[in-house]
């Protein structure tokens, strides 16, 4: 009975849930021509995402042009068919925020014949004039990034300088993915860090109070690609004058994929540094477990619906250094003997320090020519207690 109630509740929640559509801004365009260079109008162009098998279809116009907009980054197959020509198939890799040009040349022949073309990444993309750096998930996962925070890699883009993520500048900033405000030290082509903008799947996550600060840092295993554009981004993002960082998250595919990891570190993994630690003064004990889990796949196979779930947990501990000053046990015995009823003696007796190691005694040293000042008891106050100091 409880299982049946749970199933009914889940079905009811699914019906009430509103669909969420990811905002993709990559585009693909091209011109269909024959071997003589003449345009081929009314050609059927089919675009297939190889990971999800989602298909889009369009027709070339009278000038042979075709265009697909709002595409997710990934691998695609472009199929072009026209009456009296051989069918053409091209493999294309589309990046985040990219506007790629795919020219298609058809050869005269029967439709049953086909020409397969594997498109290599062009040295110069004639359809796009931006200056940008694209970081793919697989390459980023192999880098020893501090705190596993991908935002710190924005300084790798051309024209960008700075130290990356910082634990200073904002009250809640840090170098990991658990900060509510992420301060990023990065300047693009002379523009300050306040001119930077950060977008996740079309959502602007830049702080409205502190310019250039993130309010949301994506989980690394959930990011498919990161596009870092410098000063030459398109007009739909008008808030930034420096760099614009666009994160595209994973959306699942027609096959199940997942990952599990635990990034562990402790003080023994770090070498001594001259101004930080040494063999006689080592690092204070600390350790952390940065655990990650992700899974994605089809909700219903071959039906065009997918899911992706990722979670990141952090368990860490560190030691706090510093010095603590407390009274010598002989002084406490002296106070208990001579002033047993005072408030100060009660505090010294009831609130003793604990868990302290490596303590040393610091007291004045009197020479033979000096005379230590006598201890003068202060007058008794009206409440009947004697104070430790006048």
pLDDT tens-digit series, residues 25-62: 788 999 999 988 899 999 999 999 988 888 999 999 99
Nearest C-alpha neighbor of 68 from the set 34, 94, 36: 94
Look at 31-35, 82-86, 107-111, 258-262 and tell me which has the smallest mean pLDDT.
107-111
Average pLDDT of the segment spanning 160-185: 81
Taking domain 132-249, whether its CATH number is 2.60.40.10 is answered by no
Going from N- to C-terminal start, the domains of the chain cover 26-118, 132-249, 257-318, 323-352+381-390
Mean pLDDT estimate for the chain: 78
- Residue 207, pLDDT above cutoff 80: yes
Look at 24-38, 223-237, 375-389 and tell me which has the smallest mean pLDDT.
375-389
Residue 290 φ/ψ, nearest 5 degrees:
-100, 100
- Residue 3, pLDDT above cutoff 60: no
Q: How far apart are CA 387 and CA 340, in angstroms?
A: 11
Nearest C-alpha neighbor of 326 from the set 366, 360, 376: 360
Q: Are strands 99-101 and 26-34 parallel, antiparallel or unpaired?
A: parallel
- Give the predicted TM-score (pTM) of the model: 0.64
Q: How far apart are CA 136 and CA 139, in angstroms?
A: 6
What local confidence, expressed as pLDDT, does residue 383 receive? 39
Dump the DSSP string for 179-236: -SSEEEEEEETTB-GGG-EEEETTEE-B-SSSTTEES----GGGEEEEEEEES---TT
What local confidence, expressed as pLDDT, does residue 66 receive? 94
Is the model more confident about 361 or about 150?
150
- Contact 207/181 with Cβ under 8 angstroms? yes
Is the model more confident about 315 or about 280?
315
Nearest C-alpha neighbor of 205 from the set 169, 249, 164, 158: 249
What local confidence, expressed as pLDDT, does residue 127 receive? 58
Query: Any idea what the Cα angle at residue 229 is, between residues 23 and 242, rounded to 5°?
Result: 110
- Residue 93, pLDDT above cutoff 70: yes
Q: Are strands 223-230 and 104-106 parallel, antiparallel or unpaired?
A: unpaired
What local confidence, expressed as pLDDT, does residue 224 receive? 85
Residue 15 φ/ψ, nearest 5 degrees:
-70, -35
Query: Any idea what the Cα angle at residue 129 is, between residues 123 and 130, rounded to 5°?
Result: 100
Go through the chain and tell me how many residues it has: 390
CATH architecture of 26-118: Sandwich (2.60)
Terminus-to-terminus CA distance in the chain, angstroms? Answer: 76
User: From its phi and psi, is residue 349 left (phi > 0), alpha (psi between -120 and 50) or beta?
Assistant: alpha
What local confidence, expressed as pLDDT, does residue 130 receive? 66
**Which of 57-66, 167-176, 281-290 is modeled with the greatest confidence?**
57-66
Q: How far apart are CA 360 and CA 16, in angstroms?
A: 67
């Amino acid at each position: 009975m409880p299982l049946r109630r749970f199933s009914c509740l889940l079905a009811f929640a699914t019906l009430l849930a509103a669909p969420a559509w990811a905002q993709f801004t990559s585009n693909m365009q091209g011109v269909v021509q024959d071997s003589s260079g003449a345009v081929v109008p009314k050609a059927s162009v089919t675009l297939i995402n190889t990971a999800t098998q989602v298909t889009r279809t369009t027709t070339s116009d009278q000038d042979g042009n075709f265009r697909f907009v709002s595409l997710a980054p990934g691998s695609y197959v472009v199929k072009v068919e026209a009456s009296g020509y051989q069918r053409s198939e091209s493999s294309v890799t589309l990046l985040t925020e990219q506007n790629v040009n795919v020219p298609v040349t058809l050869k005269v022949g029967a439709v049953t014949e086909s020409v397969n073309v594997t498109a290599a990444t062009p040295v110069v993309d004639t359809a796009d004039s931006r200056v940008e750096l694209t970081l793919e998930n697989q390459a980023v996962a192999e880098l020893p990034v501090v705190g596993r925070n991908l935002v710190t890699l924005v300084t790798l883009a051309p024209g960008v300088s700075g130290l990356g993520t910082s634990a200073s500048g904002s009250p809640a900033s840090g170098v990991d993915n658990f900060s509510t405000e992420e301060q990023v030290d990065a300047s693009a082509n002379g523009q300050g860090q306040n001119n930077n903008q950060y977008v996740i799947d079309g959502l602007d996550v830049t702080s409205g109070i502190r310019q250039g600060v993130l309010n949301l840092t994506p989980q690394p295993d959930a990011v498919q690609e990161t596009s870092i554009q410098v000063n030459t981004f398109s007009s739909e993002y008008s808030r930034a004058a420096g760099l614009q960082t666009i994160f595209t998250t994973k959306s699942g595919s027609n096959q199940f994929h997942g990952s599990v990891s635990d990034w562990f570190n402790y003080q023994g993994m770090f070498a001594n540094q001259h101004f930080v630690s040494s063999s006689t003064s080592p690092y204070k004990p600390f350790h952390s477990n940065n655990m990650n889990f992700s899974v994605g796949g089809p909700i219903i196979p071959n039906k065009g619906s997918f899911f992706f779930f990722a979670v990141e947990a952090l368990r860490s501990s560190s030691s706090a250094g510093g010095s603590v000053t407390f009274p010598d046990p002989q002084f406490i015995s002296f106070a208990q003997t001579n002033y047993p009823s005072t408030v100060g003696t009660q505090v010294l007796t009831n609130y003793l320090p604990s868990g302290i190691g490596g303590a040393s005694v610091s007291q004045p040293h009197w020479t033979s020519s000096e005379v230590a000042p006598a201890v003068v008891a202060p007058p008794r106050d009206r409440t009947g207690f004697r104070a430790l100091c006048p």
